[in-house]
Structure 1
Amino acid sequence: MTLRAVGGLTTRQIAAAYLVPEATMAQRISRAKRIIADRGLDRPGDLSSVLRVLYLVFNEGHSGDIDLASEAIRLTRTLLTMTHHPEASGLLALMLLHHARRASRFDAEGRLIALAEQNRSLWDTDLIGEGIMLLDAALARDQLGEFQVQAAIAALHADAQRVEDTDWGQIVDWYDELLELTDTPIVRLNRAVAVGEARGPAAGLALLRELDEDLPRRQAVEAHLRERSGDLRRAAELYVRAADRAGSSAERDHLLRCSARLHDAR
């Protein structure tokens, strides 16, 4: 309900974030409204829930609405000054490290640019430096949480001067830590990508076979790994299928361009 009323997200966007049907999320929001109407708000919210809401607001803004992402960062800064909790530091670090790449995520025509193809000279080194400083301070308190782990993964990407310099082995190690903290299909999907980069596409594809085929972005991940393995025909087909389920027009156009590129290469 906070995402809807405060963050301004649509019911469809919230449902996608929680991987549930839109009708199911609409029922949950209606139920939350009734509970609040009956009981009121007479106690502080749970910190982990607040962090989760801010994380989802940022993710939605990171997909295109820069003002929304900036607002999520502002609110997280405020929350950190109020709580001084290491997970609040971890979340702020994660946001800053992702936000540092905003200038390189789209070209002049508004087309999405994948991380591996971004011009890293456009990354905001001040934001990266602040993010890493926050992360180091949080990790030093030895109260590891999922946002600190995600920030550590983002920091490894930010630290690589070239995509070839990315320490995928260490990224896999951090995903192993993340699985211990929150074992979700999305974490396993992202870990499959990292394993595919660190140990070869066959290893990543083997992990994908353990995941539901209807999982969002699964087909896009499989397409990428199939392309790396040399199976260009299958990869091109999967890029098209992934485009049909893309969460935004920019993502859909990017996936269709990937498919067209492979068709031209064959």
Structure 2
Amino acid sequence: MSGPDLRALAPQVIGVLVRRGADFAAAEDAVQDALLEALRVWPRDQPRNPRGWLIAVAWRKFLDAARSEAARRRREELLAGEQVLASSSPFSTVPGADPAGAAVDDTLWLYFLCAHPSLPIPSAVALTLRAVGGLTTRQIARAFLVPEATMAQRISRAKRTIAGERLDRPGDVATVLRVLYLVFNEGYTGEVDVAVEALRLTRQLSAAIDHPEVRGLLALMLLHHARRAARRDDDGELIPLAEQDRTRWDPRAIAEGVAILQAALARDELGEYQAQAAIAALHADAPSTAETDWVQLVEWYDELLALSDNPVARLGRAVAVGHADGPHAGLAALADVAESLPRRTAAQAYLHELAGERAVAAELYRRAAAEATSLPERRYLGRKSADLGAGGGG
């Protein structure tokens, strides 16, 4: 069925229902029911105002589900707090925002509600990715590197936790940024293309909140998004950074990202997203892998690790050390990275390839292909293994 994007409309409708007094879990259930009805009705009779239709149907389904007098009293109490919620929303400072829900983008508002103070950050991130980001439980589990069953339990607990809460205290910016970052990465590397939506929401958040880390995340997204056209060939096969055609990178996105980053860094309030953006900017500035400032990249990785001892950052640092100080120095740095970390074997293979140890690299690429979680990555690593193995030597 062509027409409105139901996945994009869903969080907006959830936001409206929550504003009207529905608790989060009940609002999500009602919206899911409304979406099913839309799939049944719209192919033959699409409404002129799809968003309004979904709101009306979802609200009716919520009311149908609220059968007890106690539930009705609770809904009335939440409605009485609507003005308090609107005044504390981050959108109260956005020009043109409509607290009543007619014009405001409820998607970003809902991000803040999911970052509720009663939820631990991992649960808030998981819940938001599921309810607002539109990702499946399996995709979220991949992002968190945990089993799908574990993530399903975490999301269910989060829903139960906020089921009895008044959602009138928006969560903190750090949680929202982490959510947006994970949504962007899933859209950029995964099965669901939500990177553009994450970028749009981060732009809106940056306009609403004067925060250097918000600007850092926006710069990071722009710099990564600038390389998107070069990341796959015409057959959809993966092209890693070192092999990308840099003439296909978007120079306007790079220039915008660098300008935003420079303004954020000038405030001297360094955070992990600014450090990551600085790393991305150095890659974007280099005409080729060989001409990349690897020494400065190592320094920025050290800054990043001082802020957040992230194993993925340690992996990136090891590769940077391999270029700056030689592949064997990179392999020594890789010893600090847990063997269970995804892509560690691929990085190890790459460093052995840089050292000219083709046979060792070929075997490691073969192992890395077997460990890969995506088909394009598995095919690329398999090709690397075959190419190096065919050449012999070591």
Q: TM-score range by the shorter chain?
A: over 0.9
What SS does the aligned partner of 1:60 have?
Answer: helix
Aligned equivalent of 1:219: 345
Correspondence 1:78-227 to 2 at 5 A = 78-227=204-353
Q: For residues 15 and 64 of structure 1, what CA distance do their matches in structure 2 show?
A: 12
Q: For residues 136 and 332 of structure 2, what CA distance do their matches in structure 1 show?
A: 36
Residues 176-212 of structure 1 deviation map (CA, whole Å, 9 limit, x = unaligned)? 0001100021111111111111111111111222222
Match for residue 156 of structure 2 among 30, 48, 52 = 30
What is the Cα deviation at residue 8 of structure 1? 1.7
Paired amino acid for 1:90:
G
What SS does the aligned partner of 1:164 have?
Answer: coil
Paired amino acid for 1:62:
Y
Residues 135-173 of structure 1 deviation map (CA, whole Å, 9 limit, x = unaligned)? 000000111000000000000000011221100000000
Q: For residues 112 and 178 of structure 1, what CA distance do their matches in structure 2 show?
A: 27
Match for residue 174 of structure 2 among 33, 42, 48 = 48
Residues 14-45 of structure 1 deviation map (CA, whole Å, 9 limit, x = unaligned)? 22222222222222111101011122422112
Backbone CA RMSD of aligned residues: 1.3
* TM-score normalised by length of structure 2: 0.66
Residues 235-263 of structure 1 deviation map (CA, whole Å, 9 limit, x = unaligned)? 11111211122131111111111111101
Q: Per the alignment, do residues 64 and 32 of structure 1 end up closer, same or farther by CA in structure 2, a change over 3 Å counting?
A: closer
What SS does the aligned partner of 2:164 have?
Answer: helix
Higher RCO structure, 1 or 2 (CA under 8 Å, sep 6+): 1
Paired amino acid for 1:168:
W
Correspondence 1:12-31 to 2 at 5 A = 12-31=138-157
What SS does the aligned partner of 1:39 have?
Answer: coil
Structure with higher Rg: it is 2
Aligned residues: 266
What is the Cα deviation at residue 67 of structure 1? 4.2
Q: For residues 31 and 124 of structure 1, what CA distance do their matches in structure 2 show?
A: 42
Q: For residues 32 and 66 of structure 1, what CA distance do their matches in structure 2 show?
A: 23
Moved more, 127-136 or 240-249: 240-249
What is the Cα deviation at residue 12 of structure 1? 2.3
**Segments of 4+ moved more than 4 angstroms:** 64-67
Q: For residues 93 and 210 of structure 1, what CA distance do their matches in structure 2 show?
A: 29
Partners of 2:314 and 2:336 within 8 A in 1? no
Paired amino acid for 2:182:
L
For structure 1, the residue ranges without an aligned partner over 5 or more in a row are: none
Q: For residues 196 and 241 of structure 1, what CA distance do their matches in structure 2 show?
A: 21
When you count helix as a share of all residues, which structure comes out higher?
Answer: 1
What is the Cα deviation at residue 97 of structure 1? 0.4
Residues 56-99 of structure 1 deviation map (CA, whole Å, 9 limit, x = unaligned)? 01001111568411111000000001102110110010000010
Match for residue 358 of structure 2 among 228, 232, 239 = 232
Moved more, 31-40 or 148-157: 31-40
